């Protein structure tokens, strides 16, 4: 099959389903097909890699030259990126076709895809339910077979939680493995890009392309390139799986707990040992995150001032009024809430009480994992305490929404890699996600475990 045929197939499906599911903000068939033709020419010349010609959807947080890049916000609703993100650059170089830009929570702030300026994404398993967020468009597109794979970003769970709620696989690599250059910043010390796909094998192939050192991201790690497919077929005999009681505590839906227990049994059958580990500071991760992430966001979002690019209020009195009207009109409620929290915790008199305190607790959370990984190779548990919840059911209470990420956020605070893979269904037929957490640079072993399980 040619790349043009493959791309046509997915474009047609994406266009047909998008009215119902709203997974894509931008589809540009001409552009995608031009890339597909180029990929076919490359294959003809014998100049093709494993993913040359494969269409992959891009979360609308990644700058792609010539493409509208909105980050799910009105304030970037007219922003055509003048350059490629490092991830996009690498994918282009590998001959991957950009299938379109996927919907997301505004500036990646959310767990349900309901904060997008472009309207909510619907869960393909039940359109009255959320797909999770913030990479909900990407998760939905893969689950509904509108795209074979997609990119996502994960600041506190935004790859893993929507992957779980939509029944697909996704991996957030170790912080610093994938360059953040051209990936619109939310909370820079936590943000990390990664792939979303149908299998661990597909994730490994995509990560081979997405990962790599980049001088333009000061936190990008200079390491020898890895082949993430290298361990896929390795036996799991003797692998030590850590189980943390904190991940099986009250609040986890019984069907989710059951599915995760069944997955643990399957790992035992595959030769793994299980050991108990303790992550006592997990309970602090949400309060710590909701100090640090808004603090960083308030700084990162200062650049949207209506001057250099993006939306500008149509009518204003003077410069200050222009800033105020632009930001008042351009940002949605959740983004404004985060900016207010962020500027508050960073302000004189509160910095020590909130920001500094949160930084100290962040260290304790990372220490929990350091100790746990002395006793095990991987930690396994639920990705999300519940399966997909009904649209609108958590929008009135931000704290309820924030609790959706109770199992994913600590991983970002520690900078560790985490992934979610499908692990069966609940009684209503909704997918359950299994989270696998690895030690720093443990991606190949995580993908190995996921591949053997799948
Ligand atoms: N749901 C979390 C938040 O709203 C995490 C989002 C993310 O990982 N980008 O901040």
Q: Is 360 a catalytic residue?
A: no
C-alpha 105 to ligand 1 mean position (Å): 9
Beta bridge partners of 80: 68
Q: Which of 116, 291, 293 gets mutated to test ligand 1 (max ligand atoms within 8 A of its CB)?
A: 293
Contacts 24+ apart (CB under 8 A), 280-284: 280/246, 280/368, 281/361, 281/364, 281/365, 281/367, 281/368, 281/410, 282/244, 282/246, 282/247, 282/365, 282/368, 282/406, 282/407, 282/410, 283/246, 284/361, 284/364, 284/365
CA-109 nearest atom, ligand 1: 4
Please, are residues 99 and 205 in contact by the beta-carbon 8 Å criterion? no
> 157: Cβ below 6 Å to ligand 1?
yes
Distance CA 335, CA 338 (A): 5
Answer yes or no: 59 catalytic.
Answer: yes
Task: Please tell me if the CB atom of residue 149 comes closer than 6 angstroms to any atom of ligand 1.
Answer: no
Residue 40 in contact with ligand 1 by CB distance below 6 A: no
Q: Which of 3, 112, 138, 158 is catalytic?
A: 158
The Å distance, Cα 243 to ligand 1 centre, comes to 24
In CATH terms, the superfamily for domain 3-210 is Amidase signature (AS) domain (3.90.1300.10)
Q: Which helix (H) or strand (E) holds 360?
A: helix 357-372
Whether 158 sits among the annotated catalytic residues: the reply is: yes
What is the Cα–Cα distance from 124 to 126, expressed in whole angstroms?
5
Residue of 424, 439, 444, 337 whose CA lies nearest to 383: 424
Residue ID of nearest Cα to ligand 1 atom 10: 109
Q: What is the Å distance from ligand 1's center to 252 Cα? A: 19
Tens place of pLDDT for every residue, the chain, 454 residues? 999 999 999 999 999 999 999 999 999 999 999 999 999 999 999 999 999 999 999 999 999 999 999 999 999 999 999 999 999 999 999 999 999 999 999 999 999 999 999 999 999 999 999 999 999 999 999 999 999 999 999 999 999 999 999 999 999 999 999 999 999 999 999 999 999 999 999 999 999 999 999 999 999 999 999 999 999 999 999 999 999 999 998 789 999 999 999 999 999 999 999 999 999 999 999 999 999 999 999 999 999 999 999 999 999 999 999 999 999 999 999 999 999 999 999 999 999 999 999 999 999 999 999 999 999 999 999 999 999 999 999 999 998 899 889 999 999 999 999 999 999 999 999 999 999 999 999 999 999 999 999 9
Domain spans, the chain: 3-210
* Cα of 373 from ligand 1 centre, angstroms: 25
Give Cβ neighbours of residue 437 (< 8 Å, ≥ 6 apart): 369, 378, 379, 380, 381, 411, 416, 417, 418, 446
Taking only Cα atoms into account, the Rg of the chain, rounded to an integer number of angstroms, comes to 21
- Closest ligand 1 atom to 405 CA: 1
Burial class of residue 203 (count of CB atoms within 10 Å of its CB; 0-12, 13-18, 19+): buried
Evaluate: CB of 405 within 6 angstroms of ligand 1.
yes
**Catalytic position from the list 3, 111, 116, 134:** 134
E strands, 198-277, in order: 240-244, 273-277
Strands of 24-26's sheet in order across:
24-26, 97-102, 55-59, 149-154, 192-197, 169-172, 418-425, 431-438, 378-382, 240-244, 273-277
């Amino acid at each position: 099959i040619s790349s043009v045929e493959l791309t046509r197939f997915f474009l047609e499906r994406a266009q047909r389903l998008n009215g119902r599911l709203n997974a894509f903000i931008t589809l540009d068939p001409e552009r995608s097909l031009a890339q597909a033709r180029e990929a076919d020419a490359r294959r003809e010349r014998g100049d093709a890699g494993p993913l040359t010609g494969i269409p992959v959807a891009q979360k609308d947080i990644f700058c792609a030259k010539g493409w509208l890049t909105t980050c799910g916000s009105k304030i970037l609703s007219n922003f055509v990126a003048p350059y490629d993100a490092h991830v996009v650059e690498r994918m282009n170089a590998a001959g991957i076709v950009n299938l379109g830009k996927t919907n997301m929570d505004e500036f990646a702030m959310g767990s349900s895809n309901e904060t997008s300026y472009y309207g909510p994404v619907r869960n393909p398993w039940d359109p009255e339910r959320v797909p999770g967020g913030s990479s909900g468009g990407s998760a939905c597109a893969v689950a509904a077979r509108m795209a074979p794979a997609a990119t996502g970003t994960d600041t506190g769970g935004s790859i893993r939680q929507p992957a779980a709620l939509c029944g697909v696989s996704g991996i957030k690599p170790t912080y610093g493995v994938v360059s953040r250059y051209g990936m619109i910043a939310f909370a820079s010390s936590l943000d990390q890009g990664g792939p979303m796909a149908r299998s661990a094998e597909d994730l490994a192939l995509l990560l081979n392309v997405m990962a790599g050192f980049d001088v333009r991201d000061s936190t990008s790690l200079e390491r020898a390139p890895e082949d993430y497919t290298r361990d896929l077929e390795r036996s799991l005999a003797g692998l030590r799986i850590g189980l943390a009681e904190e991940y099986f505590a009250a609040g986890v839906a019984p069907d989710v707990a059951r599915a995760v227990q069944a997955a643990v049994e399957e790992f035992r059958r595959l030769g793994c040992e299980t050991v108990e580990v303790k992550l006592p500071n997990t309970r602090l991760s949400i309060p710590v995150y909701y100090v640090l992430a808004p603090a960083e966001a308030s700084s990162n979002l200062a650049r949207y001032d209506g001057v250099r690019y993006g939306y500008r209020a149509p009518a204003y009195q003077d410069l200050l009024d222009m800033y105020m009207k632009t930001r008042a009109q351009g940002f949605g409620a959740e983004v404004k809430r985060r900016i207010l929290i962020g500027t508050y915790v960073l302000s004189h008199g509160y910095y020590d009480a909130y920001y500094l305190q949160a930084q100290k607790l962040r260290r304790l959370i990372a220490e929990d994992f350091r100790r746990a990984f002395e006793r095990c190779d991987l930690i396994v548990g639920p990705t999300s305490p519940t399966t997909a919840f009904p649209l609108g059911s958590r929008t009135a209470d931000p704290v309820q929404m924030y609790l959706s990420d109770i199992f994913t956020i600590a991983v970002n605070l520690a900078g560790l890699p985490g992934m979610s893979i499908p692990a069966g269904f609940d009684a209503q037929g909704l997918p359950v996600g299994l989270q696998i957490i690895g030690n720093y640079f443990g991606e190949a072993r995580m993908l190995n475990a996921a591949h053997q399980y799948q």
